[in-house]
Amino acid sequence: MDFYPASMENLIDKFASLPGVGRKSAQRLAFHMLSLPDGQAELFADAIIQARKNVHCCKVCQNLTEGDICGICDNDNRDHSTICVVTEPKDVLTIEQSHEYHGVYHVLHGALSPISHIGPDDIRIRELLQRIADNDIREIIMATNPDTEGEATAMYISRLLQPFGVKVTRLAYGIPVGSNIEFADSATIIRAIEGRTEM
Amino acid sequence: MDFYPASMENLIDKFASLPGVGRKSAQRLAFHMLSLPDGQAELFADAIIQARKNVHCCKVCQNLTEGDICGICDNDNRDHSTICVVTEPKDVLTIEQSHEYHGVYHVLHGALSPISHIGPDDIRIRELLQRIADNDIREIIMATNPDTEGEATAMYISRLLQPFGVKVTRLAYGIPVGSNIEFADSATIIRAIEGRTEM
């Protein structure tokens, strides 16, 4: 059933492997690639290569950065004694857009999930504990998603933190339960930060 | 509002420039790219480069191919005296999947559209006329989309073909009017090929 040239089929396969992209959309995207002006598709390919090469995790908070330390960790105007723990880098973006939070972050890069075989060693919990041990931290705000995995992750981490005597809070349920932090609007985020409760 | 590293923002911008991909989807795709196993993202980038480098138009029918002549034009079992004129390469795929058509194709790569400033010189009409002048063609089946641009294109070409004395037919309206040939199912395509009428 290969009616397209091999390298075209290959490109369609690649697009179809992306999350949320079906076969018809992949065809459309591949045709779009071929129809771009000279050099544009090459710039697209280069953007992928460059992002893979340059982007890595901040050695302090594990957020994405191109330097050693990300812009938030490197900012002296932020409150470095408050750490907001999030699941993914995009959650940092959502919370930053509310302009209500002035502390720093810790990105776990995942949530505990026995079903998906994601355990404590698969996400950046060890780095968080080390950070709390090495620095004078006043409060940890758990901002994992309000779903089963997120709750379990928050609970697990809050127990690990008990020996440190640090205050651990959880974002208030201003966020609709079962949804995703990524899609919350700024007003909801603000309500959730104001109404945070001690765990 | 740039919370992501520059090369990440650049990759998100690139994905957001694709048809039908919004900002949130572009973020998701960019994160997916970064989360791929080593080498996979590079293969994706290479697929774009290779497709751009290797894929070009068949010098006979203007369909996409990697060689000089496409597999359909190069096939002696096809009826080379019947040419089916389509708008886009993906229309060839849709018609081939019906297994009802055994002639060859001509891909226009567009349809006449005064609003989008697409005139007769912007699509492959000249190549079609040359092909009919140089070969013994019995019938031209106009399979442009059943919308305003497609109808106008079919009408325009059928008038140009009058001096050649070749039979010009149009796909029957088995295809729902206003829709797109790309999305027609094989049964509809078969009905349309059977019921084609002389123009």
CA distance B151 to chain A (A): 23
Distance CA A85, CA A157 (A): 10
Cross-chain residue pair B43–A96, CB shorter than 8 Å: no
Helix (H) or strand (E) holding B101: none
Is B177 an 8 Å CB contact of chain A?
A: no
Distance CA B122, CA B118 (A): 6
Is B28 an 8 Å CB contact of chain A?
A: yes
Q: Where are the alpha helices (DSSP H) in B36-124?
A: 40-54, 89-96
Please report the pLDDT score of residue A59 as a whole number: 92
Q: Nearest chain B residue to A90 by CA: give it.
A: B27
Averaged over A130-158, what is the pLDDT? Answer: 90
Cross-chain residue pair A27–B90, CB shorter than 8 Å: yes
Residue, of A175 and A37, whose pLDDT is higher: A37
Site from A7, A69, A186 to mutate, B interface, most B CB atoms within 10 angstroms: A7
Residue, of A38 and B123, whose pLDDT is higher: B123
- Residues in chain B predicted with pLDDT less than 70, given as ranges, are 1-2, 173-178, 191, 197-198
Site from A14, A17, A18, A44 to mutate, B interface, most B CB atoms within 10 angstroms: A44
Is A116 an 8 Å CB contact of chain B?
A: no
Cross-chain residue pair B7–A47, CB shorter than 8 Å: yes
Pick from A3, A19, A92: CB nearest B96: A3
The mean pLDDT value of chain A amounts to 88
Averaged over A104-126, what is the pLDDT? Answer: 93
Please report the pLDDT score of residue B38 as a whole number: 85
What is the residue type of A58?
Answer: C
Asked whether the predicted pLDDT for residue A194 surpasses 90, the reply is no
Please report the pLDDT score of residue A1 as a whole number: 44
Asked whether the predicted pLDDT for residue A142 surpasses 80, the reply is yes
Chain A residues whose beta carbon lies within 8 Å of the beta carbon of residue B44? 14, 48
Please report the pLDDT score of residue A176 as a whole number: 66
Cross-chain residue pair A45–B45, CB shorter than 8 Å: yes
A 49-78 near B (Cβ less than 8 A): 49-55, 64-66
The predicted complex's ipTM stands at 0.72
Cross-chain residue pair A89–B5, CB shorter than 8 Å: no
Please report the pLDDT score of residue A147 as a whole number: 79
Q: Nearest chain B residue to A42 by CA: give it.
A: B49
pLDDT tens, residue by residue, A143-156: 998 778 988 999 99
Is A11 an 8 Å CB contact of chain B?
A: yes
Pick from B7, B41, B49: CB nearest A42: B49
Averaged over A38-64, what is the pLDDT? Answer: 91
Site from B4, B61, B69 to mutate, A interface, most A CB atoms within 10 angstroms: B4
Averaged over A44-52, what is the pLDDT? Answer: 92
What is the residue type of A85?
Answer: V
Q: How does DSSP assign A98-153, residue by residue?
A: TT---EEEEE-SS--BTTTTB-GGGTTHHHHHHHHHHS---EEEE---SSHHHHHH
Q: Provide the phi-psi class of B181: left if phi over 0, else alpha when psi is between -120 and 50, else beta.
A: alpha
Please report the pLDDT score of residue A5 as a whole number: 86
Distance CA A173, CA A93 (A): 19
Please report the pLDDT score of residue A6 as a whole number: 87
pLDDT tens, residue by residue, A69-106: 998 999 999 999 999 999 998 889 888 888 888 999 99
